[in-house]
Amino acid sequence: MTETKTDLPPRGSKLHATILLHKLGQSLWLDNITRDLLDRGTLKRYVNELSVTGLTSNPTIFEHAIKNSTAYDTDIRMKLNEGKSEEQVFFELAVADLTRAADLFRPIYDRTNGIDGWVSLEVSPLLAHDTAATVAAAIDLFARAGRPNVFIKIPGTKEGLPAIEEAIFAGVPVNVTLLFSREQYLAAAEAFLRGIERRVVAGVKANVGSVASVFISRWDAAVKDKGPAQLRNKLGIAIALRTYKAARELLTSPRWTRLYSAGAWPQRLLWASTGVKDPQASADLYVKALAAPFTIDTMPEGTLKALVEETELGSIMAADGGDCEQVLAEFAAGGIDIDTLAERLQDEGTRSFAKSWESLMAVIASKRESVTKAA
């Protein structure tokens, strides 16, 4: 199929920020997946020209993709006529799209020895508080995908943490999602470590991939009218800096280095929710503030395209956390309880994904009606 033109700069122009971030050692992943992106060659061009090396998805992304396109209608009609449920239809469509994307990223996965080149598929958000069902779903989805570079997304909730450990022990690569604080990140890292340590004891390969996804912009959206003007849009970045410091310390700990010696892959830190929600802020606010080697920034297309216009980066993230504790102390002085807010954001995120899931099922059901009438 002929490649669709996009508003990217011509080949040979001055290096833009996406390439600069790649050279820095940060992975840029696209937080989007649609069949049109695949069919029209747009995703391939992002890989070739914008250094995109992976992709994430969630129920909201798929809801928009299916609702706003006719590309899925024929498949939906066929699958529904076979008597499959809306959930069965969705996972078959999602696995089909994501395995195509995984094949596109497979050369990157092979070239980087499994460090990069991944795509992510989420278990049903309705399972967020059901450990056993989450583990079973993760094992099933990874097997159905049949690709080594597919992460299964599991939320870092109280019930999700033991599911993460069990999935890792079973050899299922995991993208831990819905993390909002240093403490939640460390709990997810602990679950990953336990799973790897159990594999070492069992005498099986220790190199099971994982990333820990820390959400950024939702912090600032939650306090946008509660702090002084000079702190506007600084809370999410401060949380990221605090978490980055903890991750750097963990990656150099004796426990980690023992696992490296056993062949384990490190769990990488991933910045999620990096699209700016404040209309007064620059579209690349978080991207530039979160530039750091050996991390991942997954971003929506709008943010990715905004980076095309930039040819410079600011300073990279401070390994020691920079001024994060000072900024967090100022928010605390203003009455913001960081720990309580982190728990609230995780709970709200879980419920938001569940709501998007229900909307997704409704979209597929509505397609059932429309395609049946059109038949």
Residue type, 56: T
Token couple for 197: 């340590």
What Rg, from alpha-carbon coordinates, does the chain have?
A: 20
Q: Is 205 designated active site?
A: no
Give 100-166 as a 3 state SS string. Answer: HHHHHHHHHHHHCCCCCCCEEEECCHHHCCCHHHHHHHHHHHHHHHCCCCEEEEEECCCCHHHHHHH
Helix 73-81 / helix 338-374 crossing angle, nearest 10 deg: 80
Contacts of 282 (CB under 8 A, 6+ apart): 276, 306
Residue with tokens 């990488």: 268
Q: Is 317 in contact with 50 (CB distance < 8 Å)? A: no
To which H or E segment does residue 262 belong?
A: none
Chain centroid, CA 270 distance in Å: 7
Active-site choice (5, 67, 153, 373): 153
Residues forming the active site: 153
